[in-house]
Amino acid sequence: MKSICLLGSTGSIGLSTLDVLRLNQDRYSVVALTANKNIERLLEQCIEFKPAYVVVVDQDLAEVFNKKIEQSEAADTTVLSGIEALEFVAQLPEVDIVVAAIVGAAGLLSTLTAAKAGKRLLLANKESLVVSGDLLMSAVKEGGGTLLPLDSEHNALFQCMPDGYQTGQRAKGVRKLILTASGGPFLDLGLAELESVTVEQACAHPNWSMGRKISVDSATMMNKGLEVIEASYLFDMPADLIDVLVHPQSIIHSMIDYVDGSVLAQLGNPDMRTPIAHALAWPQRHESGVSPLDFMLNKQLSFEQPSFDKFPCLRLAFEALNMKGTAPAVLNAANEVAVEAFLNKKIRFIDISKLIEKVINNSTIKSADSIDSVLQADKETRMLSNQYLESF
Ligand SMILES: NC(=O)c1ccc[n+]([C@@H]2O[C@H](COP(=O)([O-])OP(=O)(O)OC[C@H]3O[C@@H](n4cnc5c(N)ncnc54)[C@H](OP(=O)(O)O)[C@@H]3O)[C@@H](O)[C@H]2O)c1
C-alpha cells in the first residue's frame, strides 16, 4: 500500500486522481486531502476516503468545516487550516506520494516542501515549476525523491524518454521536444472575433474538462507557454529545442524527435486519468478507467503551426523563458491577475496578453536564486498588475 497526500483534492485534477484511487483501492490509502473553499465537496471526500488529515486553507471556512465533520462518519479526521498546514501535510513521514494539484502559485510552497522531503511528487501544478524552476528541480535532487509530471504533454514526453530516465536530466540523442496543443476553443476565430469572446466561451474547451483558470489559459495559449517553460526545466532543454505544434484532436499528447530520425509519440484519449494512473503506478502500470483509443473514431490527425499574432501569450512565454531569472515568475503572476480579472468580467479576452506584456516591460528582472526573490517578484508583479488593471 502506498499512502497519498492529495493537495487540491476538490479541483478537476483532484477529482480525476480520486477516480483512479477508487479503482485501485488495494494499492493506495489517502492520508491527507486539501481544499481552499469547497468544503461541501471536501466533506464528501472525507466520508469516502477517511484521511487522517484534512486542510481547509480558508480559516473561517475551516471552522465551519470542523463543526460539520465532527458530526459525520469522518469525525476522526484532524482538520487543519492555513498555508503552513499545506506544507505540514506535504512532508508527513507516513506519506509516500504527494499529488500537487493546487492551481496557481498558491501551490508553490507545498510543492517545494514535498520535493525537499524526498516524496514521489506527481506534479500537476505547473505554475510552481514556472515560478521557481531551478529551485524546485534542485529541491527534488537534494530531497532524493522522484518528480513525475502529470501534465499530459510532459507525462507523454516522460513516457517517450529512454529507459531509466529521470526528470531534470538532458537525455542523450534527443533533437527536439514537440509539445502538442489543441489550440483551445478559439483556434478557428479571426483576430477581430477574439475581441468579443465571453468567459463562458473561453471556459468551454473542445477536448478537455478542466478548472476555469487553466481553461482560460488554454484559450489564450498561455497554457502552452507555461508548458514550454515547464518542459524546459523538467527535461533540461533550452527554448529553441522545444517546438509547439497545434494538433486539434488532442490524441497525440506530445512527441520526442531523436537525432536518428525516430519520432516517439504517446497517444490516448484526452483524459487526465491516464497520466495520473501512469505516474501513480510508474514504473508499472494499472487501470485508469480510461476507455481504449479507437482509431476508427479518430482517423484524422492533423497539425498546424501556432500563430504568435493570434496568441501573443505564447510568444510572451518563450520570451520570458529566454530572459530567465524572475521573468517566468513575473509572467505567471501577471497572467494569474489578468485571468482572474477576465473571469470576473473586468477586462476583455484580448486584454489578457496586453496587460501581461505591459507588466513584463515595466518590471525589473532579477536573479531567481532564492525562494524569497521569487516570492518577492510574485508579490510585486501582482501589485503592478492590479495597478495597471485600472487603465483597461
Ligand atoms: N484540469 C486539468 O485537466 C489539468 C491538466 C494539466 C495540468 N493541470 C494543472 O493542475 C493544477 C490544478 O488544475 P485544476 O484544473 O484541477 O484546477 P481547479 O479545478 O481550479 O482546482 C484547483 C484546486 O486548488 C485549490 N485551490 C485554489 N486556490 C487555492 C489556494 N489559494 N490555496 C490552496 N488551494 C487552493 C482548489 O480548492 P477549492 O476547490 O476548495 O477552491 C482546488 O482544490 C493547475 O496548476 C493546472 O494548470 C490541470
pLDDT digits 0-9 by tens, 45-90:
999 999 999 999 999 999 999 999 999 999 999 999 999 999 999 9
Q: Are residues 116 and 165 in the same domain?
A: no
CA–CA separation, 173 vs 78, rounded Å? Answer: 50
Rounded Cα–Cα distance for residues 8 and 57 (Å): 10
Distance 158 CA to ligand 1 centre (A): 22
Domain count, the chain: 2
Is residue 7 within 8 A of residue 15, CB to CB? The reply is no
Q: Report the CATH number at residue 249.
A: 1.10.1740.10
* Pair 367, 325: CB distance under 8 Å: yes
Whether 96 shows a pLDDT value over 90: the answer reads yes
Which uninterrupted H or E stretch holds 258?
A: strand 252-258
Grid cell of 186 as nine digits: 478559439
151 lines ligand 1 (CB under 6 A): yes
Atom of ligand 1 nearest to the CA of 42: 40
Nearest CA to ligand 1 atom 42: 11
Find the length of the chain. Answer: 392
Look at residue 366 and tell me if it is in a domain. yes
Residue 234 lies in a domain: yes
Ligand 1 binding pocket includes 250 (Cβ within 6 Å) = no
Please tell me if the CB atom of residue 108 comes closer than 6 angstroms to any atom of ligand 1. Answer: no
Structure confidence by residue, pLDDT tens digits, 275-284: 999 999 999 9
Largest CA distance in the chain: 63
Which ligand 1 atom is the nearest neighbour of the CA of 209?
A: 3
- Cα 316 to Cα 322: distance, rounded to the nearest angstrom: 10
> Could you tell me if residue 181 is inside a domain?
yes
- pLDDT value at residue 207: 85
* Residue 377 and residue 366 in contact, taking contact as beta carbons nearer than 8 Å: yes
Sign of the torsion angle spanned by Cα atoms 114, 109, 148, 210 = positive
- C-beta separation of 136 from 229 below 8 A: no
pLDDT at res. 249: 96
**Where a domain ends, among 149, 167, 191?**
149
Compute CA distances 155 → 52, 300, 347, 382, whole Å.
30, 23, 34, 30
Model confidence over 285-342: pLDDT tens digits?
999 999 999 999 989 999 999 999 999 999 999 999 999 999 999 999 999 999 999 9
**336 shares a domain with 189:** yes
* Binding site membership of 149 for ligand 1 (Cβ less than 6 Å): no
- The pLDDT, as a whole number, for residue 31 is 98
With a CB cutoff of 8 Å and minimum separation 6, the contacts of 281 are: 27
Give percent above pLDDT 90 in the chain: 98
CA angle 308/181/219 to nearest 5° reads 65
Residue 137 sits in the same domain as residue 273:
no
CATH code, domain with 132: 3.40.50.720
The yes-or-no verdict on residue 261 having pLDDT over 90 is yes
The model's confidence at residue 206, banded by pLDDT at 50, 70 and 90, is confident
Angstrom distance (rounded) from CA 53 to CA 75: 11
What is the tens place of the pLDDT at every residue in 128-181?
999 999 999 999 999 999 999 999 999 999 999 999 999 999 999 999 999 999
Q: Is 103 in the pocket of ligand 1 (CB under 6 A)?
A: yes
CA distance 108 to 125: 8
Other Cβ atoms within 10 Å of 228 Cβ, number? 24
Question: Domain for residue 145, yes or no?
Answer: yes
Mean pLDDT of the chain: 97
| C-alpha 355: how far from chain center | 22
Per-residue pLDDT, averaged over 103-107, amounts to 94
Rg for the chain (alpha carbons), in Å?
20
Rounded Cα distance, 140 and 143, in Å? 5
Q: Let me know whether 174 and 34 are in one domain.
A: no
- Is the C-beta atom of 124 inside 6 A of ligand 1? yes
Q: What's the grid cell of residue 28?
A: 493506495
Asked if 146 contacts 166 with a C-beta cutoff of 8 angstroms, the reply is: yes
> 279: domain range?
159-383
* Assigned C-alpha cell, 62: 475551516
pLDDT of residue 205: 84
The CA-to-CA distance between both ends of the chain, in Å, stands at 53
Q: 387 CA to middle of ligand 1, Å?
A: 26
Residues 110 and 211 in one domain: no
Query: Are both 78 and 165 inside the same structural domain?
Result: no
Q: Are residues 179 and 103 in the same domain?
A: no
CA–CA dist 366, 385 (Å, integer): 18
* Residue 187 resides in a domain: yes
Co-location of 92 and 178 in the same domain: no
The percentage of residues in the chain with a pLDDT greater than 70, rounded to a whole number, is 100
Strands of the 252-258 sheet, one edge to the other: 242-246, 174-181, 252-258, 263-267
pLDDT band at residue 208, thresholds of 50, 70 and 90?
confident
